[in-house]
């Protein structure tokens, strides 16, 4: 079995008619999963609705000013944190629910030793401690990593970010934490312009792997084999969190990579060589068919 943590509430983060990070992203994925041959092996779970729990963990990685800014913007009817990052009246509450979903994913995986997929939005890997940006309000993966380290017998947590964009927010939050490793594969040059290979963290706990536009699975595979797996394996994580963005697909409108949906099944296979304690959490991916097929490929590889 594999848990899919999802709520229709995630559709209530409204971004505007033409914004690429739209509610249809997760409804398309949910529909695709429900029509697979392995649908009976999925355990659909609703996230815990406990805003105070989410806020308590938000406060460990985000400044009070940032949390208050998002809350006030939503309360006032919405607005923008930056040119790309809208906040609607329900966005703050939905973002808290997303945090809880990621924490629930941690709980499930540690209790069962089975993977979980957190099908939530808004995404989080661009959100820094004191600001949201790049469609992201709160740093879900970094929050989840801090939460995991407070659980029994968890001493090291690794985060793998395979989104086409560098997870600048995640890195900024965790790079000084010796018990968290961060590895990112991303297109370069590309938004947000961070993630140079020279950025290695305060404890050599960061591995950035910038790849040129036009890269295919033939470029990604050796990077996984010779750099990602050795780096993460050497760290000996008790849990792996994957910032699962699917915008490196050839069909995606926001980048210039040439992966195919089935390639994410291979990525997942590499992750399973490191540990079966994996929490996947949705980040980017904006072509609905390619996005849905990629998530299906990810989950299918976990089950078979």
Residue 41 structure tokens: 């092996």
Q: Which residues are catalytic?
A: 126
Q: How many domains does the chain have?
A: 1
Residue 270: closest CA among 209, 218, 221: 221
**What's the pLDDT at 176?**
98
**What's the pLDDT at 285?**
98
Mean pLDDT score, 15-26: 97
**What's the pLDDT at 263?**
98
pLDDT of 229-261, one tens digit each?
A: 999 999 999 999 999 999 999 999 999 999 999
pTM: 0.98
Using pLDDT thresholds of 50, 70 and 90, give the confidence band for residue 78.
very high
Q: What share of the chain is helix, strand, coil (3-state, %, to 5)?
A: 40, 20, 40
- β-bridge mates for residue 158, sequence order: 181, 240
Which helix H or strand E contains 79, and what residues bound it? strand 79-82
| Mean pLDDT, the chain, integer | 98
Residue 145: closest CA among 182, 192, 194, 120: 182
**What's the pLDDT at 223?**
98
Q: By three-state DSSP, how is residue 224 classified?
A: helix
pLDDT of 163-180, one tens digit each?
A: 999 999 999 999 999 999
Percentage of residues in the chain with pLDDT exceeding 90?
Answer: 100
- Boundaries of domain holding 62: 2-303
What CATH number should be reported for the domain holding residue 64?
3.40.800.20
pLDDT of 187-210, one tens digit each?
A: 999 999 999 999 999 999 999 999
pLDDT of 131-172, one tens digit each?
A: 999 999 999 999 999 999 999 999 999 999 999 999 999 999
């Amino acid at each position: 079995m594999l848990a899919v943590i999802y709520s229709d509430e995630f559709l209530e983060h409204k971004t505007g008619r033409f914004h690429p990070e739209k509610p249809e992203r997760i409804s398309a994925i949910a529909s695709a999963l429900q029509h697979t041959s392995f649908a009976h092996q999925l355990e659909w779970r609703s996230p815990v609705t406990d805003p105070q729990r989410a806020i308590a963990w938000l406060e460990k990685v985000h400044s009070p000013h940032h949390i208050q800014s998002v809350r006030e913007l939503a309360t006032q009817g919405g607005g923008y944190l930056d040119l790309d990052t809208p906040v609607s009246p329900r966005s703050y509450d939905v973002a808290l629910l997303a945090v809880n979903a990621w924490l629930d994913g941690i709980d499930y995986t540690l209790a069962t030793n089975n993977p979980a997929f957190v099908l939530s939005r808004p995404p989080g890997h661009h959100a820094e401690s004191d600001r949201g940006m790049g469609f992201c309000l709160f740093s879900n993966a970094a929050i989840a990593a801090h939460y995991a380290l407070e659980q029994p017998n968890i001493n090291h947590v690794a985060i793998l970010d395979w989104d086409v964009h560098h997870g600048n927010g995640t890195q900024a939050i965790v790079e000084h934490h010796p018990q968290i490793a961060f590895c990112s594969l991303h297109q370069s040059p590309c938004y947000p312009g961070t993630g140079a290979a020279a950025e290695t963290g305060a404890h050599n706990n960061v591995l950035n792997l910038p790849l040129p536009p036009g890269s295919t699975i033939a470029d990604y595979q050796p990077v996984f084999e010779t750099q990602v797996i050795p780096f993460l394996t050497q760290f000996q994580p008790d849990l792996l969190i994957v910032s699962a963005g699917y915008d490196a697909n050839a069909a995606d409108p926001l980048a210039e990579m040439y992966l195919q949906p089935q390639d994410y099944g291979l990525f997942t296979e590499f992750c399973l060589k490191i540990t079966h304690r994996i929490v996947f959490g949705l980040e980017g991916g904006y072509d609905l068919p390619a996005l849905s097929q990629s998530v299906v490929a990810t989950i299918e590889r976990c089950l078979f």
